[in-house]
Amino acid sequence: MTINARLDIGGVQVLPTGTTFTVGAKGDLRKAGKAIAAITGEGLLTNNGVIATDIEVTATNVAGTTRTVTFNPPGGTTVTKTIFGTSLDAVGLEFPEIVVADDEYVRWGTTPSGGSRIGTATVLAEGITALYPVVLKKGVALAGSLAELQAELATFGTGEGQSTTIRLSDDIAAPAGSLTVPAGSNGKEPLVLDLGGHDLSLDSIVVAPGALTIKDTTSTTSDPGGTLTVAPSEEGPAGPGVRLAGASTLKVASGRLSVTASPHQPGIGAASGDTAAGSVVVTGGALTALAEEPGSTAIGGLEDGVLGTFEVRGGRAVVRGLSTDRTSVTIGANGVLEVAVANEIRVRGIDGSATVTNDGVILGDLAGVKAPVAPNNAIVTFDVGAGALPDGVAGSPRIYAATLTAGGRELPTPTRPGYTFDGWYVGDEVFTATTTLPSATSIDGRVSPGARTVTARWTPISAEVSDLTGLKEAIAAPTGLIKLIGPLVTDEVIDFGDTESVLDLNGQEVTLAGVKLGAALTVRGGTLGVTGASKLGDYRLTVASTATIVGSRNASIEGNLGSVLQVEGAVKVPFVEATKYRGLVFSVAPAGTIDGTLVTAGSFDGAGATFPAGPVVEGKKFLGWTTTENPGTTPTYVTATSGLGAGSTTDGQATTVTLYPQYADRPPITEVSSAAELAEALTCGGGITAPVSIKLAGPATLTDAVSGTCAASIDLNGRALTLGDLTAAGDLTIAGGTLTVTGTLGLGTHTLTVGEGGTLASTGKGSVTADTGGIVNNGAITIPTAALPTSIKGRNYALTFDLAGATGEAPADVRALADSVAAGGSVLPIPTWAGFTFAGWFTAATGGTQVTAATGLSSLTTKTSVDGTPVPVSLFAQWTAVPVVVPPGGDGGGGAPTPTPTPDPEPELPLPPTAPPSVVGRPVVGGTLAAVVELPAVAGASAAYQWQVVLADGTLLDIAGADSAEYLVPAEYAGLELQLVVTITAPGYETRVATYRFPGGAGEVQLGSLLRERPMIVGLRGGIPVTGRKLRLDVGVVATAATSARVAPGVPGLKVRVRWLADGVPIRGASRRVFRPGAGQLGKALSVRVTLRAPGYVMSRSTSKATKPVVLGKSLLAPAKVMVGKRAPLVVKSPPAAASYRLMVGSVEIAAGRVGHPGAVWTRSPLIPTFLSCGIARFRLAWLDRRGRVIARDGTRARLTGC
């Protein structure tokens, strides 16, 4: 039986075995009335239509259209229904009733979370369909498919009660699908798309105009929820992934939104023709917007003037290809913007000229941030000093956050051998990862990041050492602080290794051969003596304020290009040369000069340097040096002991100090109180004009040789003056005191006048010589006549002696060059005559006037010498007979008389008191010391000399051969103390021995000074250096106080170090006195620096005047070495008429061509063929005119290598 129409049935319909009951496609069985309706039996029931659900079907065999539906109410019993139709509506079946609140409704779907929506009219799939109810608030819709989603969007906002939230009930993959979010007629609230933990993939979304909020109500801290992916497909229409037209807004509140821009389109923003690009706001969740190709943008518009806004108020946004010229970018205090790494075609993170307003955090590929960012934008520099950051840690990272922690960074822990890390500091404040960083600043629209330098603070690992072994072990450990607790003297150079360390001398004097640095070294707390070379390498040597480095005559401190000498104390080493200096290192030069003296301490004396002498201005007296040209009425003078300033606080050249000379007008009488002032006055130095009147204001000794004295009148002012060698170039007059000559006073053709009250004396080998000149004596001269010129006018007497009848030989004549014999330093002879007593000398044999050594000779004669010959004075002896003694009992007559007994020899008398010996001169290597000894006024008095050295252990040692009044100080005694022993003897008197020690420890021999003229460069062509032309250095005169020669034997062990400079920079390998400029010096000014060193002398440095720039000498210039297979840089200068050239190596042409600029200098770099043989090769260059004729040739040689 077949039913193809509606049929109401009642009762029980039994299908017998073998029968078939068919409900056709148009068949519709319904229950009739309220009666029971059922179909049963063992026949076949075939359903192609509908059998109402209230008809009970229990037939054994059923075929055709059937569905099984499982209803799964929450917390209830599962109900399974079999229906004979394709939908619930068709069979008249209702959903089970679910009780909900008034503002809720029930939606049935295919999953517990919703799935595809199932209504009563929904055509059910074949098989078993499980249905789940979801209780929803009114206004919230579920969508489990793209169609449902589109359907819900189609009704969005069309009336009251319509849904404003659409929640996904299942994952939806629609890569070619598109959604359009209308503004809606109500326009009150934006559409909320709740991902509900599901993923949705689309081709595009249009929000035009309107507002769309993406969120996921299932998201948690550990599970961000579902992802909405918008990736435009090639099949889809061209346009933004998410189009925000006009004032449209896209908001991400939770969940994840990922948008990829298609070529030449925004990821999120305006389409072509839109007037604005809308707003994108992230308050939570995560937004990823990526541009993959140039011409695209992550967010915003692509047309000029079409801008959008992008705010990250919370959550996280990941971008690439974002331009602030296409959208404004703001990151709130709780927002995080991550910059994606550039892709293969180098689309970077954020660019543009407008400023990113960042109150939050920017992470990721920070190198891709090219737009200005403020205020959270800082560069943190980690200053580790001599330490090291861990591998991979940047030294100056950029932080786009308020703190390091917020920026996703931790503070690194640096390491430093020999030290422990104590933390990071800004000044004295501790710096942590949560310390607020400085904000960026904007000046005239230009944003500059905040800058913060944090410094690692270290505590050195310390060790106490008492000997050389302990020192070496501490260095090897390594150790940051080495403290010496015992004396140390070694002839080894100590290598301090590659650990920055501090050497604490602990108040001691330590002597090493030198130091070698592989890292920075600080010396403090004592005196470090060095006897050899100390090598700084490329590192810093710091001499603390409590330390001094002293060097013997062979000591030096030298560094490479990276070396720094930092002086806070003092360095007294003969040769010091570093690339940079810091602290108390001064280059001191008088105004108007170029080369300065390197002073490595706070003062000249502190560094053991020679203080410059004052310039001479005629008629002016040099007062001293000042550091300002016009110091005013109360100038502060720079002296050898005064401070030169605070020094530099940065690494660089030595601090330049310019000294300006200050003068006063010379007075008519020049008062002198020192040997230097006297020497200046005698030679009319320091601006003194001849004839000069000199007044001695204090006792003075001048042992240094003085030559070329001008006409001078010296008022000794009742004082004593001692002179060494002196050569007169004018007449001299002395009066009112004693002038003692210890050397040779050479008058030449000039006259020495000894005035009234003046005395001319000598000690040792002192003498006065003259050619046609002589002496006019109106005072007294005690110098032996053998040591005087023959012509002495004035008081010049020759005393002759007549024995007046006595037997024997008359005494020799006595010369008296004074008004009395005694004043002339002589005594009268005492003759003897047997049987008589000498009564004295008289002016006549009988009677007359008695004459003694003190008798004024001018009272005996009115004559004085007018022609230089002595005035004769005759004296006669007078005698008294010795009485004859008659013995008792004698006859008183013819018996022989008894002679008077010979008295016993008289005992030796003490010598008359005299001034103690003194020494003129300063103990300095190369200088001369001269003894000043006053002999007692007794006959035959003489002095013997012995110079002594005090060894380091206190032992006194007589210096062999040093037994004269003068002593030239050799270099071997530098640093040791000298003294003088004087022995005075006279017949009949006790011997007197006196020792002279320099006061105040001044007897220690100081390092000498090398004086020099400024070096010159010889061999310039018209004053200009030319490439290839030999230049030669003329060092200049090298001299000390004792010797003078051209780089000469007068300075033992003198070494000359030469460095040629180009524009002030040392030329590698140019250290000889001959130099040929090459291509590397073209256009640069040349100069040469000369450094002089000698044992026992302070290093001296001088630099020549710079030349004009080097010019090309030949028309072809090649480097010294050329590698085959490589290009050789050749410098050429084409003749004015040249049109082309040919360049060959040997017989092989390597270049040819036309000349672009005749007469110009240019570079040609031809490839050198590999088949050429190594060795010396000849480069040949031919210049041709326009007709191809050779007009000039040139050539050069170079060594070919690399064969």
The answer on 480 and 411 residing in a single domain is no
Give per-residue pLDDT as tens, 598-630. 899 999 999 988 888 888 777 788 889 999 999
Taken in order 74, 80, 84, 86, is the CA torsion positive or negative?
positive
Flag whether 570 is in a domain: yes
Measured between alpha carbons, how far is 338 from 580 in angstroms, rounded to an integer?
45
Final residue of a structural domain among 459, 484, 504: 459
- The torsion defined by the Cα of 1056, 1059, 1064 and 1065, in degrees rounded to 10, comes to -140
691 preceded by cis ω (within 30°)? yes
Final residue of a structural domain among 39, 65, 91: 65
- Cite the beta strand spans of 1109-1160 per DSSP E: 1116-1117, 1121-1123, 1130-1133, 1140-1145, 1148-1154
Q: What is the pTM of this model?
A: 0.52
Final residue of a structural domain among 1002, 1020, 1049: 1002
The answer on 447 and 507 residing in a single domain is no
Give per-residue pLDDT as tens, 918-945. 888 888 888 889 999 988 888 888 999 9
Q: Would you call 337 helix, strand, or coil by DSSP? A: strand
Q: Please, what's the b/e burial string for 84-105 (b: 16 or more CB within 10 A of its CB; e: otherwise)? A: bbbbbebbbbebeeeeeeeeeb
Give the count of beta carbons closer than 10 Å to the beta carbon of residue 980. 23
Show Cβ contacts of residue 425 under 8 Å, excluding neighbours closer than 6 positions. Answer: 431, 454, 455, 456, 457
Single-letter amino acid, residue 878: Q
Flag whether 1064 is in a domain: yes
Flag whether 899 is in a domain: no
The answer on 276 and 178 residing in a single domain is yes
Q: Which of 233, 234, 215, 235 is nearest to 225 (CA)?
A: 215
Low-confidence ranges of the chain (pLDDT < 50): 159-161, 185-186, 890-896, 898, 900-905, 1041-1049
Burial of 457 per CB tally in 10 Å (0-12, 13-18, 19+): middle
Strands 1011-1012 and 1038-1039: antiparallel
Show Cβ contacts of residue 1147 under 8 Å, excluding neighbours closer than 6 positions. Answer: none
Residue 735: per-residue pLDDT: 93
Flag whether 181 is in a domain: yes
Measured between alpha carbons, how far is 482 from 512 in angstroms, rounded to an integer?
15
The answer on 297 and 180 residing in a single domain is yes
CA 1030 to chain CA mean position, Å: 36
Q: Tell me the two tokens of residue 833.
A: 């005559």
Q: Cβ(355)–Cβ(327) under 8 Å? A: no
Flag whether 82 is in a domain: no
Q: Tell me the two tokens of residue 860.
A: 């005996």
| CATH number of the domain encompassing residue 978 | 2.60.40.2700
The tally of domains found in the chain comes to 10
Flag whether 954 is in a domain: yes
Burial of 222 per CB tally in 10 Å (0-12, 13-18, 19+): exposed
The answer on 513 and 536 residing in a single domain is yes
Query: Length of the chain in residues, anyone?
Result: 1203
Flag whether 248 is in a domain: yes
Single-letter amino acid, residue 1039: A
DSSP-assigned letter for residue 610 = P
Flag whether 119 is in a domain: no
Strand order in the sheet with 37-41: 11-15, 37-41, 56-57
478 preceded by cis ω (within 30°)? yes
Strands 732-735 and 751-754: parallel
Query: CA of 862: how far to CAs of 797, 847, 859, in Å?
Result: 11, 21, 7
Query: CA of 369: how far to CAs of 261, 349, 355, in Å?
Result: 19, 6, 11
Beta bridge partners of 1057: 1091
The answer on 507 and 453 residing in a single domain is no
| CATH number of the domain encompassing residue 1025 | 2.60.40
Residue 611: which domain range? Answer: 588-595+602-664
The answer on 339 and 206 residing in a single domain is yes
Q: Would you call 204 helix, strand, or coil by DSSP? A: strand
| CATH number of the domain encompassing residue 1143 | 2.60.40.10
Single-letter amino acid, residue 832: T
Burial of 441 per CB tally in 10 Å (0-12, 13-18, 19+): middle
| CATH number of the domain encompassing residue 821 | 2.60.40.4270
- Residue found under tokens 């002196």: 726
The answer on 697 and 840 residing in a single domain is no
The answer on 228 and 252 residing in a single domain is yes
The answer on 465 and 446 residing in a single domain is no
Measured between alpha carbons, how far is 1022 from 290 in angstroms, rounded to an integer?
69
Burial of 590 per CB tally in 10 Å (0-12, 13-18, 19+): middle
Q: Which of 713, 719, 717, 716 is nearest to 699 (CA)?
A: 719
- Residue found under tokens 């971008």: 319
| CA-derived radius of gyration, the chain | 58
CA 1197 to chain CA mean position, Å: 41
The answer on 1197 and 1145 residing in a single domain is yes
Q: Tell me the two tokens of residue 427.
A: 């000044």
End-to-end CA gap in the chain: 109
The answer on 1060 and 1097 residing in a single domain is yes
Cα angle for residues 251, 252, 253 (degrees, 5° grid): 110
Q: Which helix (H) or strand (E) holds 621?
A: strand 620-626
